[in-house]
Amino acid sequence: MKKKIHSIKKAYSSFNQYRERYGFNVAFRVFQHYVFRLIKSGQNNLNESTITINGSKMIMIPNDPGISTELSIFKCHEPINTQIISRILKKGMTCLDIGGNIGYYVLLERKLVGDEGKIIVFEPLPRNYQYLEKNIRLQNVKNISAYNFACGDKEGKATFFINKKSNGCKVIAEGVSPPDPSLGTLTEVPIKILDPFIEELKLEQVDFIRMDSEGYELHILKGLRRTLQKFKPIISIELHRRQLGIDGTREFFELMKDLDYKIESYVSRDLDIPIIGNINYVQKPTLDELMKMNETGEVGSYLMLNLVNNSKESDKQ
C-alpha cells in the first residue's frame, strides 16, 4: 500500500512538473504512463520471464523495478532513441556498447548489423552481466562479445553503486559522494581503459558507440580518445547533466568539439519514455547552441544525444 501511495504521489508530482515545462498534453500522457505502470507492476516481473522485445527473446530479472519491469509492461525502452538507432545502424557495422545492462540495445544492435557485423559489450555489474549473457545465448549468434568490467580512465578497481533498479547502477568517481544508502549498496568492480583494450582486439573498424554510464561519461571518453580519433564512430550517449553538473557537461561538449563531432539529434530523456516518446520531439541544435542551453539551464537533467564526426559527413559528400 505504501508503494502505491508513493507511486500516486510521484505521478501527481510528475504531472505538475511536465505541465510546467511541456504543457498539459504531454503532462497528461506522463500521468497515463505512471498510472498504467502502477496498475501493471503488481502483475509483472515476480518471476524470471522470457518476453519478445524488438523481435528478440529476452529474459527479465525477477523483481527488478527498473528496465525489466518497464519492458515487461511496455515492451519497449527509450522509444525515441530506439527509433533513431534503428535508422543509424547498417549491416556489417561494428558496435561498442558501454553499459549493456541486460541487453536491450545489444540485441537491437545485433539484429540491425546482422551476421556480418560485430557487437562488443561491457557491463560491470555481475547480476546484470549474468542476464546479459543469458540473453546473448538465447539468440544463438556468434558475433556478440561481452565483458564483465567497468570502463574509465584508469586501470584497477572502482567503487560501484548497485541501485535497486538494474539500470541505475554506476561507477562512483573519486571525490564524489555515493548516493543515499537506502537506494542501494556499494561494491568494487574491475575497471579498464578502453583504448589499449580495443587495440588488443585488433578491430578493423568501430562504426558506432552507445554509452549509458550514469554520469561517468567523461572518464570513459578520456579512455577512448585514440579510438574516437582513429575510427570516428557515431556516438549515441545518454549525458547525465544532473551528475556532471554545468561544468562537466561543458567539458563534454568541448571534448566533442575538439574531436570534430556535431549533434545529429538531441532529445530530453524525460520525453523518451513509453506512451510519451514521439520522434517529433527530436531536435538538431549545434554544439554551440547546446552549450549555451547548458549554461542557461534550458536543457534537462538527462540528454539523449547522437553525434557524428564532421570528417565522416564530408566523406559522404
pLDDT in tens, 100-149: 999 999 999 999 999 999 999 999 999 999 999 999 999 999 999 999 99
DSSP-derived letter for residue 47 is S
In a domain, 257, yes or no: yes
Burial of 25 (0-12, 13-18, 19+ CB in 10 A): exposed
In a domain, 118, yes or no: yes
Task: Say yes or no: 136 and 261 in one domain.
Answer: yes
- Decide if pLDDT at 47 tops 60: yes
- pLDDT class for 309, splitting at 50, 70, 90? very high
pLDDT at residue 25, as a whole number: 85
Task: Say yes or no: 240 and 137 in one domain.
Answer: yes
Task: Say yes or no: 90 and 209 in one domain.
Answer: yes
Task: Say yes or no: 222 and 309 in one domain.
Answer: yes
Burial of 258 (0-12, 13-18, 19+ CB in 10 A): exposed
Contact indicator for 165, 194 with CB cutoff of 8 Å: no
Task: Say yes or no: 89 and 207 in one domain.
Answer: yes
Calculate the dihedral angle through the C-alpha atoms of 137, 305, 217, 58, rounding to the nearest 10 degrees.
-20
pLDDT in tens, 86-105: 999 999 999 999 999 999 99
Q: What is the mean pLDDT of the chain?
A: 89
Indicate the number of domains in the chain: 2
Task: Say yes or no: 106 and 237 in one domain.
Answer: yes
What average pLDDT does the segment 263-277 reach? 94
In a domain, 169, yes or no: no
In a domain, 198, yes or no: yes
Q: Which three cell numbers stand for residue 29?
A: 500522457
pLDDT in tens, 227-248: 999 999 999 999 999 999 999 9
Least-confidence region, from 63-77, 189-203, 207-221, 262-276:
63-77
* Domain span at 9: 1-41
In a domain, 47, yes or no: no
Task: Say yes or no: 20 and 144 in one domain.
Answer: no
pTM: 0.91
Spatial CA neighbour of 167 closest among 208, 219, 132, 120: 132
Kind and range of the H or E run holding 80: helix 79-88
Task: Say yes or no: 35 and 94 in one domain.
Answer: no
Q: Which three cell numbers stand for residue 82?
A: 530506439
In a domain, 64, yes or no: no
CATH of the domain at 305: 3.40.50.150
Task: Say yes or no: 197 and 258 in one domain.
Answer: yes
- Decide if pLDDT at 181 tops 80: no
In a domain, 114, yes or no: yes
Task: Say yes or no: 212 and 297 in one domain.
Answer: yes
pLDDT at residue 162, as a whole number: 86
Task: Say yes or no: 23 and 90 in one domain.
Answer: no
Task: Say yes or no: 112 and 30 in one domain.
Answer: no
What average pLDDT does the segment 293-309 reach? 95
